[in-house]
């Protein structure tokens, strides 16, 4: 049986302007710190990791960041719930729905999320597209700020649910950045990377994941890549 762990942003969906607006406004309101959230800061990072980066740059100490982070994320999730997809600018990438349906219908596949989003934020982001039901569980930025530790958390939860042991090639991380490759390798897992942002092309190729894809349009090809890599 294969445990297939899907990233969200840049892999399943493009989440539009709402999440950045919610995060920036939450940090400004709670910490009085202006935020310029770039792709380079956010790509492949966890929400707590992004916040730590922003507040460290603003001069806050580790203790101060630890103390204020819960308040920032409480406000961030409130704002995300109201601002997300407000202008209809969040989109699910072509091919995602049929791919998830195909994998979910395979008795030898267990689907889960592996994302730097806080768990509530992850569910909010997927909610407009009716694909939350494919993912009963996952590992999230709310579990740990270090993305490299999330695959092991997902594996543990998968084992608790199924009574099975998942290790090495039994686990596939599907993502869109070099950080997805790196976190997969921490537990000896395989990685299937769809390159959706030009800045990721060279780093991803240099990191040599098991599979590199341009999109999810060919369901047969993507499914085979995930199941045989």
- Phi–psi pair at 92, nearest 5 degrees: -90, 135
- Phi–psi pair at 7, nearest 5 degrees: -70, 165
Domain count, the chain: 2
Q: Is 194 helix (H, G, I), strand (E, B) or coil?
A: strand
Domain span at residue 193 reads 2-15+89-228
Looking at the structure, tell me whether residues 129 and 182 fall in a common domain.
yes
Last residue of a domain, one of 83, 118, 140: 83
Taking the alpha carbons of 34, 82, 115, 148 in that order, is the dihedral positive or negative? positive
Last residue of a domain, one of 83, 104, 134: 83
User: In CATH, what number is assigned to the domain containing residue 49?
Assistant: 1.10.150.240
Query: How big is the chain, counted in residues?
Result: 229
Q: What local confidence, expressed as pLDDT, does residue 44 receive?
A: 83
Q: Is 94 helix (H, G, I), strand (E, B) or coil?
A: coil
Q: Is 117 helix (H, G, I), strand (E, B) or coil?
A: coil
pLDDT in tens, the chain (229 residues): 999 999 999 999 999 999 999 999 999 999 999 988 788 888 889 999 999 999 999 999 999 999 999 999 999 999 999 999 998 999 999 999 999 999 999 999 999 999 999 999 999 999 999 999 999 999 999 999 999 999 999 999 999 999 999 999 999 999 999 999 999 999 999 999 999 888 889 999 999 999 999 999 999 999 999 999 9
Report the C-alpha gap between 43 and 29 in whole angstroms. 24
Q: What local confidence, expressed as pLDDT, does residue 41 receive?
A: 81
Taking the alpha carbons of 116, 48, 45, 75 in that order, is the dihedral positive or negative? positive
Looking at the structure, tell me whether residues 156 and 98 fall in a common domain.
yes
Looking at the structure, tell me whether residues 118 and 157 fall in a common domain.
yes
Looking at the structure, tell me whether residues 198 and 127 fall in a common domain.
yes
Looking at the structure, tell me whether residues 38 and 104 fall in a common domain.
no
Looking at the structure, tell me whether residues 111 and 221 fall in a common domain.
yes
User: In CATH, what number is assigned to the domain containing residue 124?
Assistant: 3.40.50.1000
Looking at the structure, tell me whether residues 153 and 191 fall in a common domain.
yes
Looking at the structure, tell me whether residues 104 and 198 fall in a common domain.
yes
Looking at the structure, tell me whether residues 171 and 95 fall in a common domain.
yes
Beta pairing partners, 6: 113, 174
Last residue of a domain, one of 33, 64, 83: 83
Looking at the structure, tell me whether residues 93 and 76 fall in a common domain.
no
Assigned token pair, 140: 């999230």
Q: What local confidence, expressed as pLDDT, does residue 42 receive?
A: 84
Beta pairing partners, 139: 114
Q: What local confidence, expressed as pLDDT, does residue 43 receive?
A: 82
Q: What local confidence, expressed as pLDDT, does residue 136 receive?
A: 97
| Whole-number Cα distances in Å, 207 to 10, 44, 115, 219 | 18, 14, 20, 25
Looking at the structure, tell me whether residues 72 and 152 fall in a common domain.
no
pTM for the model: 0.95
Report the C-alpha gap between 136 and 94 in whole angstroms. 22
Looking at the structure, tell me whether residues 30 and 101 fall in a common domain.
no
Cβ-contact 123, 19 below 8 angstroms: no
Report the C-alpha gap between 227 and 229 in whole angstroms. 6
């Amino acid at each position: 049986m294969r445990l297939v762990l899907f990233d969200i942003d840049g892999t399943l969906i493009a989440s539009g302007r709402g999440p950045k607006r919610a995060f920036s406004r939450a940090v400004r309101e709670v910490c009085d710190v202006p935020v310029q959230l770039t792709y380079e800061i956010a790509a492949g990072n966890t929400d707590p990791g992004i916040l730590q980066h922003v507040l460290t740059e603003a001069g806050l100490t580790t203790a101060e960041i630890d103390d204020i982070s819960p308040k920032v994320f409480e406000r961030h999730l409130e704002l995300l719930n109201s601002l997300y997809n407000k202008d209809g600018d969040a989109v699910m990438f072509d091919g995602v729905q049929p791919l998830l349906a195909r994998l979910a219908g395979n008795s030898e596949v267990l689907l889960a999320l592996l994302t730097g989003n806080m768990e509530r934020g992850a569910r909010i982001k997927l909610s407009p597209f009716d694909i939350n039901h494919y993912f009963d569980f996952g590992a999230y930025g709310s579990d740990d700020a270090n993305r490299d530790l999330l695959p092991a958390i997902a594996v543990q939860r998968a084992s608790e649910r199924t009574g099975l042991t998942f290790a090495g090639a039994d686990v596939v991380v599907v993502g869109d950045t070099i950080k997805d490759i790196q976190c997969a390798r921490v537990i000896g897992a395989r990685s299937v990377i769809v390159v959706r942002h030009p800045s990721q092309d060279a780093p991803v190729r240099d990191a040599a994941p098991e599979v590199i894809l341009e999109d999810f349009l060919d369901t047969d090809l993507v499914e085979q890549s995930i199941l045989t890599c």
